Structure 1
Amino acid sequence: MAWRDAKASRARLLLFMASIILGIAAVVSIQLFSQNLTANIQRQSKSLMGADFLIDTDQLPNARAQAIIDSLKPDASEVNFVSMVAFPKNDGTKLVRVRGLQGDFPFYGTIETQPVNAATNYQVSGGALVDATLMLQYNLQAGDSIKIGEITLPIAGALKAIPGNTAVSTAVAPLVLIPFRFIEATELLQFGSRKEYQFFYRQPNVDLVALEKKLQPLLEAENADLDTHTGTSSRLGRRYDNVGSFLNLTAFIALLLGCVGIASSVNIYIKEKIKAIAVLKCLGASRKQSFLIFLIQIAGIGILGGFIGTIVGVGLQELFPIVLKEFLPFDLTISITAQPLIMGVLLGLVMSVLFALLPLLRTWYVSPLEVLRFSGDSSKQSKNAIYGVITVIVLFLYAFSFWLLKDWLYALAFIGGILVTFGVLAGIATLTMKLVKNYFPKRARFTTRQSLLNLFRPNNQTIVLLVAIGLGTFLISTLYFTKDILLDKAALGQTSESANLITLDVQPDQVAEVANTFEANNLNVLDNIPLVTMRMHSIKNELVNKLRTDSTSQIKGWLLNHEFRTTYRSELIDSEEIVAGEWVALQKEKDTIQVSISDNLAEDANVTIGDFIVFNVQGVLMETVVKSIRKVDWTNLQPNFTIVFPTGVLENAPQFNVLTTYAPTEESSATLQRDLVSKFPNVSVIDLRQMFTVVEDILDKVSWIINFMAFFSILTGIIVLIGSVRTSKYQRIKESVLLRTLGAKNKQILTITALEYLFLGILGSLLGILLALGSSLLLAVFVFEEPFTPSLIPFLVFLPGISLLVLGIGLSNIREVLRSSPLEVLRKSG
């Protein structure tokens, strides 16, 4: 019976199936991609680092650290730092990361260059490998020269890839490789320079776990660190797990939207089958038999939909390496595993049956007397059964979310958010129907009145259409609003009072000449900030060396080895505000030195007002007391500090300076950078406009990924919309033919349908945008702590676009309606 009935209703059942295909495809494709990513990271972990393990330190190793490094016999080493370089060919300048390498690095993986032999020849020939994109930007070729500090080297080739480097980091500071023997001649490693020394080891048979357990505490005591290829791959895996969880949830939303469509369509489908079920019961069919007939149908289309969705997902996951290639430090090899494929088919079955259970319960309570009743279904369903089914659905959704997120609280929040969003959309739809029913003007035109009264007619699709339209619009609009918040946080104030050029590592004897260079280019010095480097020696009378080995300590480990760059001044700046304590502008001679720290440092160091911190300032111990705690806006692109001293303390300490200015045009910025690089090779210049461009480019890539996933929800919503409209197609034909029998013209019928779906499209998309507006406002206030100015794109593009799309789908049935003869209704009733 299930097979026979399904053949007669195959068009509708295919639409049910189409509702979940895209959701299953999205989930399966992302699951496959996540498994491939994990497998590739594990398989290529050595190639990602280029070695079995490395030791790194941000200062020249002291005697004890060097003894540990030498005892393990490093096979290669490097020093890397950020610096300005110049290209004599076209007078171009650029902030880059210089890596001075010696030894046969990498031991795993390869350095990819153009020409190919440059990767092995540059050490012998004494040339430089320059980032390939940078060479294109400055029209450079192999054989041209690059000036790094006090030396000029020939460019041996274009650098395409090297282990340990990512496209994102290259976008901020492109890479330049040179032989280690030239580093000293550059004269760039001066006091205050940010540098990192790394020592690479090829020891494939060593027990990395035991090695790390033994050496890590010893190295940390000497401000060094041990990093293994397994540790690197584990951190990278966790980073992409977060991305995978987000993509999984987006796919899950698309699947949920499809399931809502199934529930609605099955509801109407069962309503139309009530009399057939009553006839079966008159002929002796039991409750169980009538229930199973339709359960088998839904299970069948769930399995088939899951199978088709799985096949589509296998094809889709091939796109992810292309979409995410900017964020992957390696080439991704795709392979197919069985688990996501089995999961896709089972998910299609379970989700279809779960969401169809509520309407299917109606078949259980159909009375044989329904054959004799003229008007619809009057059977009463068990409230306990309904509540039981709802409970099972919510528990399954929570369990599936927990499996995706691996965190019970996040899963609970996600399911709660989804239920609230669905509830708001369904509640507003219900309220709209009641308002129209009770308060719509009775004197309105016939077509207008009829179109809006259709919103609460029997078999109406108001709730499901508003949920489908609203949720899809909500997702895509939230993306745009959130992107605007992020861009606003990174936006630069284009005024002469806002610095957009930051000059770093200016030595004390260079400050006056750098300032004169600014003036010679008609630019003013906006800030002259002194920087003093130091480390923490003790916190609240606890030695840092002891805290490193204390597993019960509440202090975050990062600050125990961190070299702080601090400053001294008498005033707060725009990005700061005091949240506790009292600001001290000038230090009194007899008082303990009073410092101000940022709120995040206070939290991580577990200190508050009145606590003591002893700093090691280049070998001199300095006792301080926390006098104030500041809230710092770190997204403000200007020099911000975790620790600020009052004036009268650090003036005579070894220091260097940061000078800032405002360059009104790119040309003036480029001219200043050329002058500074030619006169002061050790000075680095950060152009905040370029930084903003990098941030915007990264956000655009992330937005594309989110758009790609939101597309599944939007397209699923469209399929649900089509399915819902088509499911009620025969009801519409009957109603329209009855109207024509009563004298209505084709134009009136067309107008009635158009107005109804236009109203649903406008209301649904407007609700989605307004919900997105509210959620984005909450994100701006409580997460980003930023003023919120919404984008007009959702209002100007999504609102009319989605409304017209809904209108077009709604009118897709009208052609057949307009061709139907009024006699058709008489034949059907006969």
Structure 2
Amino acid sequence: MALSPFRFAWQDSRGMRRRLVLYVSAMALGVAALVAIRSFGINLERAVAEQSKEVFGSDLEVRRSAAFPDSTAALLDSLEAETGATVVREVSFPSMARFPASAGGEGRARLAQVRALDGPYPLYGEVQTTPAAAAERIGRGGGALVDATLLLQMDAAVGDSVQVGGRAYPIVGRVDGVPGQAEIASLVGPRVYLPLAEVDSTLLGFGSRARYAVGFRFPDAEAATPGVASRLDDYEVRYETAGEEQQEITEASGYLTRFLSLVGFVALLLGGIGVASSVSVYVGEKAETVATLRCLGVSSGRVLAVYALQALALGLVGAVLGATLGVGVQRLLPLVLQGFLPVDVQNDVVPRALVEGLGVGLVTALLFALLPLVGVRRVPPLRALRADARAGGVDPLRWLLVALLVAAVGGFAYLQTQSWGGAAAFVGGTAAVFALLALAAVAVRGVLRRVVRPGLPYAWRQGLANLYTPGNQTLVLLLTMGLGVFLVLALALVQRSILEQVAVPTGDDRSPDVILFDVQPSQRDSLRALVESQGLPVIQEVPLVQMRIAAVDGVPVDTLLETADDSFAGTEGGPERWTLTREYRSTYRTHTVPTETVVAGAFEGTAPEDADVVPVSIEAELAADLDVGVGSRITWSVGGADVESVVTSLRDVDWAQVQPNFFAVFAAGPLDAAPQTAIVLTRAGSPERSARVQSAAVEAFPNVSAVDVQLVLSLIDRVLARVAFVLRFMALFAVATGLVVLAGAVRVALGQRTREVVMLRTLGASRAQVRRILVAEYALLGVLAALTGGVLALAGAWGLAAFVFEIPFRPDLTWLGWALVVVPLLTVAVGLLGSRGALRQPPLAVLRSE
């Protein structure tokens, strides 16, 4: 034939272009998700690189969990003078912020993170305050600045006062934004900014959890930072540079964008299924045309090239539309994620993301389209004369395309996870979900074939029969809709299980809901009396002893740290560094508690007060990281004295429960006289009584801090809800794609649907009866999609809970109930909208065309 493949492909597609619009739409949504996420990820990387110093706050920060020794303080002063650096000193610690009573009201208190500053803060960037001039007073004296969130919660305002410890400070400004502080951080840990010189010194005494830090801004950071860092190596301090912080944030943001990209890629795969479905129907309708071309001498390869060009052109159109839509969606992502981001992300259009999205979308569309298209090579010329003519045997090209598709999916997953194991898990998990949904579709068709009986109402009998008649779209619809349901429900069910872990039982009168800590030994009796005077029970008093590890099995920590430098990455042969450098807050008691389970050895609860070696029980995971077991000896430094201990048991600890849990629990007796503080737990039972006891405790004992457990749980709930919203926002791409594919399946089968409707209308069925048949068909499809997706979501959420979060699985089955209502309604709505053309066709016109 003289006609070129390009021209013939164009002319042959004229009658099918409108019918393949949804083919384009399915691809466009998947490409839009990828382009939006990729553009956002690149812009986020740029923002981190440009704003890393604003996020970190300095060129180099030196910190310690206790006050700097005189020798270290002298070194820091000399470094400041030698380098000409600008320096800000900070002491941060948790403490109660008490807001005195307003007219006719009661005082309110809330645990806050106090940042006591001396020097120009911040060294980089600007603090946003109301009034604006208040930012200049941070670190320079003259009052307190308070997070806007905390002022709102406490019903306070600029001009009021806040009490921290034994001192009251006028509130001179509201803090609306701090460089490097995400919005979610102010919700979880609201901050109060104070001048360091005016802090109540009793809050920094024994038992305080203060962190001391000195930040440097050098005139020439690149030249000064390495030399300063090297001089700090011989001192007992930790330091970090802006470059190291940038690398950490880049890695964290990379995890986020790669995960979101995988969710977007799932939407693209769903679009690919819609493409394969559309092209499969299209090829079936073109079989007689192909057979005629073969009779005229056109080779099978040339025929395949014609239809491959059509698929390529449609895929390109879909990819271009998707890229355009992705630029619009990209504008939404910073708004969705802004509460979690420490930087301001610009909405610049990223050409690289557009090219990558176009490439991935085009390759995906072509591979999925070629799977059914290769069938045109095997259409025999005899098909032009006999409709039942078929080619037999196995097509090796189709299997090659399947292998290429799997390899492409695996390659994309590897680029996102940077792990072959992660890529294999993604490919395997996706394939398993698709396979289970496909098996469910096959099983449904088999069951329906047997359960449809003449006794059913006619509309339902006909609608159910449509799900297993030749040419039905049951498989495709269950795959797409079921996967969308699976993604959304799995996220919701896991969130519920996490919340169940941190929930405090409300029906148990012995469950604490207020925790008072930093209680000094001389205050315990008075505080207990104060709590009881409020009509509240003292449920538990827990002693708290601060200590560090001095030696393990006779080997000093300094020697172990030299080995830990080489084995820190988790290799066998020694303790991990973090276990040797941290400060432990331990306790002693005679028994285990319900959140603990002894997994090795036997718990010893008592020992003589003058025992040379004290029995200790170690948390199992810490023991593994510390490379110790039952019988190991650990020497602890407690208040300047060495305490020798022997590990008598290992415990599994349920850290998710809101009550005091410990890495190390000693036998009662030997540590009774050690320097210590206490934690007092009580139950208020209501927000009002909780506020009263907290306010009274802080008023009487300014150094004591309190945690309202119910407030903590509500904050956790709000944070997890924000996280879940982000994940569901991305999962909605899969749901939207599923709806488009559903509409596409209805549209491509319109010819067959029209003939069925005409036959029913010719036999006397009214439009209302036909509509009821369609409602029955699509309603059952929606129910089946909700059920199959829901069952898979239960299994997936259980796997996440059991193996990723390692928590009991406690699903909220009301989510399944909502899915069984919403999904069928959506399916029916889309199905009826797509079938309007069939309902409007007059029977006579269709019969004449036949």
Alpha-carbon distance in 1 for matches of 2:561, 2:670: 29
One-letter identity of the residue aligned with 2:758? V
Distance 1:538 1:123, change over 3 A: closer
Q: Is the aligned partner of 1:776 residue 2:797?
A: yes
2:778 maps to a residue whose letter is: Y
Partner of 1:674: 695
User: How far does the alpha carbon of each residue in 1:5-28 deviate from its partner, in whole angstroms, 9 at most, with x for none?
Assistant: 222211122110101111111111
Distance 1:454 1:69, change over 3 A: same
* 1:50-73 superposed Cα distances (whole Å, 9 cap, x missing partner): 211110001011244334423322
Change (3 A) 1:685 1:445: closer
Q: Equivalent residue for 1:419?
A: 431
Structure 1 partner of 2:713 = 692
**Do 2:120 and 2:140's aligned partners in 1 also have CA atoms closer than 8 Å?**
no
Structure 1 residue 365: Cα displacement: 1.1
Q: Which amino acid aligns with 2:187?
A: A
Structure-2 residue corresponding to 1:17 = 24
Match runs of 1:101-500 below 5 Å: 101-121=117-137, 123=139, 126-183=142-199, 185-203=200-218, 204-207=220-223, 210-211=226-227, 214-215=230-231, 217-219=233-235, 222=236, 224-375=237-388, 378-380=390-392, 382-438=394-450, 440-441=452-453, 444=456, 446-494=458-506, 495-500=508-513
In 1: Cα distance, 2:67 partner to 2:755 partner: 86
How much has 1:739 moved relative to structure 2? 3.5
> Aligned pair in 2 of structure 1 residues 208, 266: CA closer, same or farther (>3 Å)?
farther
Helix, strand or coil for the counterpart of 1:369? helix
SS at match of 1:324: helix
Q: Check whether the contact 1:294–1:360 (CA below 8 A) recurs between aligned residues.
A: yes
Residue 413 of structure 1 aligns to a residue whose secondary structure is helix
Please tell me the residue identity of whatever aligns with 1:189: L
Pair 132,230 (structure 1): closer, same or farther in 2 beyond 3 Å: same
1: CA distance, partners of 2:366 / 2:582: 56
Q: Deviations over 1:621-671 (max 9, x none)?
A: 122111101000001000100000001110111111111100111111111
Please say which of residues 43-52 and 632-641 is displaced more in the overlay: 43-52
CA distance in structure 2 between the aligned counterparts of 1:130 and 1:449, rounded to whole angstroms: 68
- Alignment partner, residue 541 of structure 1: 554
Which deviates further from its counterpart, 546-555 or 794-803? 546-555
Specify which of 574, 584, 605 is matched with residue 594 of structure 2. 574
Q: 635-644 vs 555-564, which deviates more?
A: 555-564
Residues 265/215 of structure 1: CA separation in 2 closer, same or farther (3 Å cut):
farther
- Change in CA separation of 1:667 and 1:298 when aligned onto 2, cut-off 3 Å: same
Asked if structure 2 preserves the Cα contact closer than 8 Å seen for 1:151 and 1:186, the reply is no
Say if 2:59 is the partner of 1:52: yes
Quick check: 239-248 or 694-703, which moved more? 239-248
1:635 to 623, 638, 656: 656
TM-fit CA distance, 1:301:
1.1
Cα 1:336–1:521, aligned 2, differ >3 Å: closer, same or farther?
same
Helix, strand or coil for the counterpart of 1:615? Answer: strand
* Worse overlay, 142-151 or 187-196: 142-151
Using the alignment, how far apart are the partners of 2:223 and 2:624 within structure 1?
36
Do structure 1's residue 807 and structure 2's residue 814 form an aligned pair?
Answer: no
Relative to structure 1, is the Cα distance of residues 451 and 124 closer, same or farther in structure 2, using a 3 angstrom cutoff? closer
Unaligned runs of 5+ in 1: none
Moved more, 51-60 or 66-75: 66-75
Query: Which residue is 2:5 aligned to?
Result: none
Aligned partner of 2:779 among 733, 748, 758: 758
How much has 1:445 moved relative to structure 2?
A: 5.0
Asked if 1:66 is matched to 2:73, the reply is yes
Match of 2:704 in 1: 683
Mean Cα displacement is larger for which, 659-668 or 449-458?
449-458
Post-superposition Cα deviations, 1:306-360, rounded to whole Å, max 9, x if no partner, equal 1111111111111111111111223222322221110111122100011111100
- TM-superposed CA distance for 1:419, in Å, is 0.4
Deviations 1:360-385 (A, max 9, x none): 0111111111100134x622363322
| In structure 2, distance between residues paired with 1:238 and 1:31 | 15
Tell me how far apart the structure 1 counterparts of residues 647 and 188 of structure 2 sit (CA, whole Å). 35
TM-score by length of 2: 0.94
Deviating more after overlay: 748-757 vs 270-279: 748-757
- Cα separation, 1, equivalents of 2:708 and 2:457: 64
* Alpha-carbon distance in structure 1 between the residues aligned to 2:139 and 2:630: 54
The 1:437–1:211 alpha-carbon spacing in structure 2 relative to 1, beyond 3 Å, is: farther
User: Contact (CA 8 Å) 1:365, 1:381: kept in 2 or not?
Assistant: no
> What is the DSSP-based 3-state SS (H/G/I as helix, E as strand, rest coil) of the residue aligned with 1:526?
strand
Q: Give the counterpart of 1:626 among 630, 647, 656.
A: 647
* Residue 89 of structure 1, CA deviation: 4.3
**1:563/1:256 Cα in 2 relative to 1: closer, same or farther (>3 Å)?**
same
1:446, CA displacement in angstroms?
Answer: 4.6
Contact 1:148 1:186 in 2 (8 A): no
Residue of structure 1 in register with 2:38 after alignment = 31
Aligned length: 824
Separation in 1, partners of 2:635, 2:477: 64
Q: Is the 8 A contact 1:82 1:173 kept in 2?
A: no
- The more displaced of 700-709 and 139-148 is 139-148
Q: Deviations over 1:558-609 (max 9, x none)?
A: 1221010000000111111101111001125566321101112112112111
How far residue 173 of structure 1 moved from its aligned partner, in angstroms, is 2.6
CA distance in 2, matches of 1:123, 1:783: 43
Identity of aligned residues (%): 36
SS of equivalent residue, structure 1 residue 673: helix
The 3 A distance-change label for structure 1 pair 158 and 356 is: same
- 1:186 to partner: Cα distance: 4.7
Q: 1:125 to 1:632 in 2, by over 3 A?
A: closer
- Structure 1 residue 754: deviation in Å? 2.3
Distance 1:581 1:164 in 2: 46
AA in 1 matched with 2:154? Y
Q: Does the alignment pair 1:502 with 2:515?
A: yes
Give the direction of change, closer, same or farther, for the CA distance of 1:145–1:384 in structure 2 (3 Å limit): same
> 1:215/1:266 Cα in 2 relative to 1: closer, same or farther (>3 Å)?
farther
Alpha-carbon distance in 2 for matches of 1:206, 1:447 = 78
Matching residue's letter, 1:552? D
1:520 equivalenced with 2:541 (yes/no): no
The answer as to 2:113 corresponding to 1:97 is yes
Distance in 2, matches of 1:747 and 1:338, equals 52
In 1, Cα distance between equivalents of 2:462 and 2:616:
73
- Separation in 2 of the partners of 1:507 and 1:37? 46
Q: 1:77 aligns with which of 85, 89, 92?
A: 89
Q: Hey, what's the Cα distance between the residues in 1 that align with 2:797 and 2:287?
A: 45
CA distance in 2, matches of 1:338, 1:262: 26
| Residue matched to 2:638 | 617
CA distance in 1, matches of 2:139, 2:754: 80
CA–CA separation in structure 2 for the residues paired with 1:523 and 1:99: 33
CA contact (8 A) 1:85 1:148 kept: yes
Deviations 1:120-165 (A, max 9, x none): 1355551111112222333323222221212222111111223353
Asked if structure 1 preserves the Cα contact closer than 8 Å seen for 2:782 and 2:828, the reply is: yes
Whole-angstrom CA distance in 2 between matches of 1:144 and 1:601: 46
**For the Cα contact (< 8 Å) 1:568–1:645, is it kept in 2?**
yes
- Contact 2:268–2:361 under 8 Å retained in 1: no
- 1:6 and 1:13 in contact (8 A); partners too: no
Measure the CA separation in 2 of the matches of 1:808 and 1:176.
Answer: 53
What is the alpha-carbon distance in structure 2 between the residues aligned to residue 447 and residue 28 of structure 1?
A: 44
**Is the 8 Å Cα contact of residues 489 and 816 (structure 2) preserved in structure 1?**
no
Flag structure 2 segments of 5+ consecutive residues without an equivalent. Answer: 1-7, 568-573
CA contact (8 A) 1:303 1:346 kept: no
**Which letter maps to 2:25?**
A
